[in-house]
Amino acid sequence: MMQDDHSAPDEGIDGINLRFDLIELETFLAVADLGSFSAAAKKMHVSQPSVTNRVQRLEAMLKTKLVERTTRRVTPTPEGEELARRARLALQGLRELLTDFHARAAASKMRTVIATTPMLAAVVLPQLIQSFRQAYPSIQIQVRDLQYEAVLATLEAGQADLAVSAFDGDSSKLHFEPLAREPMLVVLPKAHPLAGAQDITLEQLADLPLMLLDRYALLQTRLSAELARRGLTLSTIQHATNVGTVLGLVDAGLGATFLPRYMAQRYSLESRATLNVPEIDLSRNFGILVREKADLNLASTLFLDHLRAHFATTLHAGQT
């Protein structure tokens, strides 16, 4: 703590004045160790009067004589010996504390936390993380796979550095950078009469019971608006949070659902078929979300650049 020579002393812990510079303590230890003001001045790279002034300020603050001066040598008083012993322990503890904080700060620059949805975490991110680690093996990446709303909330709360997700909304707290546009496909049972076709019309779609994921509210709005423009309405709509639940309903023959192409084709087993809807564009933008004015660490910045370069090709790899 810095002290102006002309300022009034502050009362610190339990009424004790603690206003002094650590350099004064280090200078006193140099004098005690070397037994000389001139030797201490040489070690500290300051003038001898500066060393004398520092020790005198420390003595004045402690109201205790710390050294005895003779023509040949400077020796600590008993109180000076006690101060030297305790000061060495205190300074060592402080150095260890500072080293620990510096190590944590350095480590935080080499780690990034990514929030994303379960399917992206399972299908797309593993390949991206693998290729990233080949270039930056010392950087740690923690993936938090969450439901869509939790992804946004986690990022807004600062519990993740960035998010990888589709984003249909508008947020004053988040900035979205689209990296790929993904068409939405209809998924229905392979036993369904329409399963053999490549496309499905809106008129045919209107007659199908639909099971939609909760996060596809905007898709439902756009689809309903286009159907209404054509004098059509959706027959029935059910909602679910998890992909597994929706696909279970599809497999039971209870209707159809919409999924992004990368997800639909991954889940297009022998029991399911996927169809395009050419009469309406229901594509979703996938990309990166960060907090507005976020100060990203080095690890996050490097992974962000990696996503910009490789996300789209990784997302679309193997699609037909």
Domains of the chain, each with CATH number or no CATH: 13-79 (1.10.10.10), 110-181+285-316 (3.40.190.10), 184-282 (3.40.190.10)
Main-chain phi, psi angles of 165, to 5 degrees: -170, 165
Local structure of 16: helix, strand or coil: coil
Two structure tokens written together for 44: 């500290």
Tell me the pLDDT tens digit for each residue of 107-125.
556 889 999 999 899 989 9
Segments of the chain with pLDDT less than 50? 1-13
Q: What is the pLDDT of residue 4?
A: 40
pLDDT value, residue 280: 95
Contact 174, 289 (CB under 8 A): yes
C-alpha 13 chain-centroid distance:
38
Task: In whole angstroms, give the CA distance from residue 24 to residue 30.
Answer: 10
Alpha-carbon span 214 to 220, nearest angstrom: 10
| Element (DSSP H or E) covering residue 138 | none
**Under 8 Å CB-to-CB from 98, ≥6 apart: which residues?**
none
Cα-only R_g, the chain = 34
* Helices 78-109 and 22-34, packing angle to 10 deg: 130
CB-based contact 187:277 (threshold 8 Å): no
CB of 37 closer than 8 Å to CB of 70: no
The model carries a pTM of 0.64
The pLDDT score that the predictor gives to residue 134 is 92
Buried b (16+ CB within 10 A) or exposed e, 84-113: beebeeeeeeeeeeeeeeeeeeeeeeebbb
Q: Give the pLDDT score at 198.
A: 94
DSSP-derived pairing of the beta strands 111-116 and 162-166:
parallel
The predicted pLDDT at position 236 comes to: 86
**Which parts of 183-320 are beta strand (E)?**
184-189, 210-213, 237-240, 257-260, 272-275, 284-291
DSSP 169: S
Question: Measured between alpha carbons, how far apart are the two ends of the chain, in Å?
Answer: 67
CA dihedral sign, ordered 262, 265, 269, 272: positive
Q: Which run of H or E residues covers position 270?
A: none
